[in-house]
């Protein structure tokens, strides 16, 4: 007790001396370049957190500010090793540019992915570049340029005051460096002692990027991410044994009741049928439920859903790999990796995939896509998955006239694909094919090529003299969401023509059509607010206090991102709507049960076995069930059934399940555990 009192008195005395001698004001006066450097870059990092995650808890958070402050001071400390002040200014300006780039890129990235950027993205640059226009048109916003203002002010200050640096030589440079580094060390120590076990765990795992940035700041996150991104290169040296044991224990426990071999009313219903899977680019469920002036946005998709098995609460689980992540989860029942993408960073791994399973059943397997074969490294990964032939851009007649957006229009793609499918059907008894569409891709700006589909409101008004005139209200015209609906309408027409042409060729008689949206369109929330709350009289959005106002908050935005999953046959023998929540990783076990194969290492479930007990896990740690949507960043949830009482154990159990599943999935891919397990199985077969 006496020691604490002594330290307290010493601290008070030190503060009094600092105040008396005006040490702070003197330090600022003699170190303006450094102080301004620290201030600018901490302001930008704080601004980033507030702009991307504007919740009260985040705005008032002190810990990430301390963390960012420590990092900036640490990097800035090296400026004191320069003898001349002008070199210190140049050094600080360079790091200010780097820190500003980090903030700007993460701001743009968060708008599109609702997550933060990773160094592993560097390997994806070639796949992001072709959609650069989409980023500029649909993602880049004014807020993303705010970080340039403090940085520009700092650089201008350094230039304007450069005459003050002439002849200025630092004395006691090493002493200044050591003291500044010590300040950074004290801040780091202060920060570390406040950390909880949960925060440390999530920092190490890094899969919940929003949580890490909220607690540790953007600069600490980025440094940690840089280290994590090296994992693919060092995983063979560290961690394999632990990962392999976790993998074995996980599936030994999970498969105790042999769930993957269970049968139900839908077992083998598609066995022996040809299968055509349509990977529908950016197709959201909302498009199937929206119409303008009595004209449906997606009448063909809606008809197929009403005539087949329609999974109406189906969620995409993609991460930075977008479409490639969707293919991964749909075909292998695995989750995206926490660093990089499976298609690019882990293309040499062993996967248990639907095409290979179908090949084992005697099917000829193929895939079709109107883009280049190497986009998202599909040439390699499709072969790895078990596709025997990949029809890519080189196999299609692509002209300027039939190009929309990124490549060949869906109508021409499907039309030319039918000819290939007809040839395949004559050469092979059974086939399994995947067709990946392209037209309905952001930025949805080729509206003149989509055909006529107004997204306005038209009303007939009777005048005083009895005449009738048509009044048009703009509604969604000119909005990004409005253009998206026009694009979907075009894609829907293409699907209708494809089905008709298949039927004309007699290719539907013994064929199942499987359709799934790969991910949502990544459009701004404000457009959805306008969609549900349009005030036609003022061509604006209703006031929030209006009785007709529909609250479309962040939870509603997340839930609205679901995509359709449809299984359709010409005979319409199986017709139902499955309302239980499903994820992309549930497709393989559900289809496998219908087609006659299973995968004991699937992370998803056959929905007809698990039904209402299902849980959909997202790469950022969020999860959804029939009862709850849980936000891992906020540690909050939305009850989806007002009559249901949710206890803490339910949240805790599902959160633990989510963390374990994400870890196991990542280990399977990073450590190539399926390859090693396959070796063990073959050894057992030989021994028996």
- Tens digits of per-residue pLDDT, 211-254? 888 889 999 988 888 877 776 556 555 788 899 999 999 999 99
Query: CB neighbours of 263 closer than 8 A, spacing ≥ 6?
Result: 593
Q: Which of 9, 584, 2 shows the shortest CA–CA distance to 331?
A: 584
Provide CB contacts within 8 A for 136, sequence distance 6+.
Answer: none
- pLDDT at residue 15 tops 50: no
Q: What are 415-433's pLDDT values in tens digits?
A: 999 999 999 999 999 999 9
Among the residue ranges 114-118, 190-194, 255-259, 590-594, the one predicted with the least confidence is 114-118
Residue 687 has pLDDT above 50, yes or no: no
- Please report the beta strands in 475-527, taking only residues with DSSP state E, as ranges in sequence order: 511-517
Q: What is the pLDDT of residues 77-107, one digit of tens each?
A: 998 888 777 888 899 999 999 999 999 988 8
Give the tokens for residue 678: 């396959």
Please check the confidence at residue 683 and state whether its pLDDT lies above 70. no
Q: Write the Ramachandran bin of 353: left for phi over 0, alpha for psi from -120 to 50, otherwise beta.
A: beta
Position 524 scores a pLDDT of 87
Q: Which of 8-22, 44-58, 461-475, 515-529 has the lowest average pLDDT?
A: 8-22
CB 526 within 8 A of CB 444: no
Q: What is the Cβ-side half-sphere exposure of residue 360, based on CA atoms within 13 angstroms?
A: 13
Handedness of CA 646, 650, 656, 658 (dihedral sign): negative
Mean pLDDT, the chain, whole residue set: 88
User: What proportion of the chain, given as a percentage, has pLDDT over 90?
Assistant: 64
pLDDT value at position 685? 42
Q: Pairing between strand 407-408 and 431-436?
A: unpaired
Q: In terms of residues, how long is the chain? A: 688
Residue with structure tokens 């990949």? 390
Instruction: Identify the helix (H) or strand (E) that includes residue 427.
Output: helix 410-427
Between these two residues, 324 and 467, which has the higher pLDDT value? Answer: 324
Query: What confidence score (pLDDT) does residue 200 get?
Result: 82
Mean pLDDT within 510-534: 95
pLDDT, tens digit, 9 for 90 and up, residues 141-176: 778 888 999 999 999 998 888 766 665 555 677 888
Tell me what pLDDT residue 21 has. 45
* Residue 339, SS3 per DSSP: coil
Question: pLDDT for 296-331, tens place per residue?
Answer: 999 999 999 999 999 999 999 999 889 999 999 999
Is the pLDDT higher at 126 or at 292? 292
CA–CA gap between residue 129 and residue 644 (Å, rounded): 47
| Paired tokens of 677 | 């397990």
Residues 6+ apart with CB under 8 A from 208: 202, 620, 621, 632, 633
Residue 133 has pLDDT above 80, yes or no: no
- CA 134 and chain centroid, separation: 16
Q: What is the pLDDT of residue 644?
A: 79
Can you read off the two tokens belonging to residue 105? 């890129």
Pairing of strands 364-369, 540-541: unpaired
Whole-number pLDDT of residue 4: 46
Structural domains of the chain ordered from first start: 21-229 (no CATH), 243-448+477-687 (3.40.720.10)
Residue 17 has pLDDT above 60, yes or no: no
Question: What are residue 472's DSSP bridge partners?
Answer: 458
Q: What is the pLDDT of residues 648-675, one digit of tens each?
A: 999 999 999 999 999 999 999 999 999 8
Would you state the structure tokens that stand for residue 342, as one six-digit string?
Answer: 């499976």
Two tokens at 313?
């609460």
- Most confident listed range (136-145, 206-215, 502-511, 676-685): 502-511
Reported as half-sphere exposure (CB side, CA atoms, 13 A), residue 554 has a value of: 13
Cα first-last separation, the chain: 72
**Predicted pLDDT at 137:** 54
> Which residue has tokens 């197709």?
283
Query: Could you tell me the pLDDT band of residue 45, with boundaries at 50, 70 and 90?
Result: very high
Given a cut of 80, whether residue 126 has pLDDT beyond it is no
- State how far the Cα of 625 lies from the Cα of 622, in Å rounded to an integer: 11
One DSSP character per residue, 355-373 reads HHHHHHTT-EEEEEESS-T
| Alpha-carbon gap, residue 644 to 629, rounded angstroms | 13
Extract the tokens encoding 83: 């003898």
Q: What is the pLDDT of residue 233?
A: 59
Q: What is the mean predicted confidence (pLDDT) over 105-128?
A: 72
Instruction: Tell which wins on pLDDT, 421 or 57.
Output: 421
CB atoms within 10 A of CB 421: 25
Three-class SS state of 160:
helix
Q: How far apart are CA 102 and CA 324, in angstroms?
A: 25
**DSSP per residue over 649-664, as a string?**
HHHHHHHHHHHHHHHH
């Amino acid at each position: 007790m006496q020691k604490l009192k002594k330290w307290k008195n010493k601290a008070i005395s030190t503060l009094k001396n600092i105040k008396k001698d005006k040490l702070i004001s003197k330090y600022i006066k003699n170190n303006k370049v450094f102080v301004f450097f620290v201030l600018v870059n901490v302001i930008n990092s704080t601004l980033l957190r507030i702009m991307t995650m504007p919740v009260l808890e985040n705005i008032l958070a002190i810990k990430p500010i301390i963390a960012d402050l420590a990092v900036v001071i640490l990097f800035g400390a090296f400026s004191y090793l320069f003898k001349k002040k002008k070199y210190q200014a140049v050094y600080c300006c360079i790091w200010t540019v780097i820190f500003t780039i980090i903030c700007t890129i993460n701001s743009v990235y968060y708008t599109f992915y609702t997550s933060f950027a990773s160094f592993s993205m560097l390997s994806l640059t070639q796949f992001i570049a072709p959609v650069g226009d989409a980023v500029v048109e649909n993602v880049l916003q004014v807020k993303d340029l705010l970080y340039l203002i403090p940085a520009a002010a700092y650089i201008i200050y350094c230039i304007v005051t450069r005459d003050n640096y002439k002849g200025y030589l630092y004395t006691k440079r090493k002493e200044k460096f050591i003291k500044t580094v010590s300040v950074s060390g004290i801040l780091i120590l202060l920060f570390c002692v406040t950390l909880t076990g949960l925060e440390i765990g999530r920092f190490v795992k890094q899969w919940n990027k929003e949580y890490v940035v909220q607690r540790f700041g953007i600069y600490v996150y980025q440094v940690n991410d840089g280290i994590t991104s090296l994992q693919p290169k060092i995983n063979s040296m560290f961690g394999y044994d632990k990962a392999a044991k976790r993998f074995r224990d996980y599936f030994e426990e999970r498969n105790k009741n042999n769930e993957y071999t269970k049968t139900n009313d839908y077992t083998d219903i598609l066995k022996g049928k040809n299968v055509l899977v349509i990977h529908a680019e950016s197709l959201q469920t909302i498009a199937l439920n929206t119409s303008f002036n009595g004209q449906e946005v997606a009448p063909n998709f809606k008809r197929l859903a009403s005539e087949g098995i329609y999974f109406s609460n189906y969620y995409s689980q993609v991460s930075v790999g977008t479409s490639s992540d969707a293919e991964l989860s749909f075909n292998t029942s695995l989750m995206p990796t926490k660093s990089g993408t499976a298609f690019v960073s882990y293309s040499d791994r062993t996967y248990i995939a639907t095409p290979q399973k179908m090949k084992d059943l005697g099917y000829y397997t193929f895939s079709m896509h109107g883009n280049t074969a190497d986009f998202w490294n599909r040439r390699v990964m499709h072969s790895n998955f078990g596709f025997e032939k990949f029809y890519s851009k080189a196999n299609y007649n692509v002209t300027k006239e039939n190009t929309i957006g990124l490549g060949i229009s869906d109508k021409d793609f499907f039309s030319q694909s039918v000819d290939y499918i007809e040839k395949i059907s004559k050469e092979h008894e059974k086939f399994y094919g995947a067709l990946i569409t392209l037209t309905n891709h952001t930025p949805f700006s080729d509206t003149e090529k989509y055909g006529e589909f107004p997204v306005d409101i038209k009303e007939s008004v009777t005048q005083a003299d009895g005449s009738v005139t048509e009044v048009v209200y703009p509604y969604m015209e000119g909005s990004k969401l409005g253009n998206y609906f026009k694009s979907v309408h075009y894609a829907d027409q293409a699907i209708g023509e494809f089905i008709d042409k298949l039927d004309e060729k007699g290719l539907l008689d013994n064929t199942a059509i499987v359709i799934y949206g790969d991910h949502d369109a990544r459009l701004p929330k404000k457009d959805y607010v306008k969609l549900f709350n349009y005030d036609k009289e003022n061509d604006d959005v209703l006031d929030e206090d209006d009785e007709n106002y529909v609250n479309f908050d962040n939870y509603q935005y997340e839930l609205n991102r679901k995509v359709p999953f449809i299984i359709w046959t010409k005979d319409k023998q199986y017709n139902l709507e499955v309302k239980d929540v499903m994820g992309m990783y549930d497709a393989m076990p559900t289809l496998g049960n219908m087609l006659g194969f299973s995968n004991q290492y699937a992370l998803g479930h056959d929905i007809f076995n698990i039904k209402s007990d299902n849980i959909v896990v997202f790469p950022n740690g969020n999860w959804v069930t029939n009862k709850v949507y849980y936000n891992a960043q906020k540690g909050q949830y939305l009850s989806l059934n007002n009559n249901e009482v949710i206890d803490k154990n339910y949240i805790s159990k599902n959160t633990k399940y989510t963390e374990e599943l994400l870890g196991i999935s990542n280990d399977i891919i990073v450590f190539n555990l399926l390859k090693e397990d396959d070796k063990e199985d073959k050894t057992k077969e030989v021994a028996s």
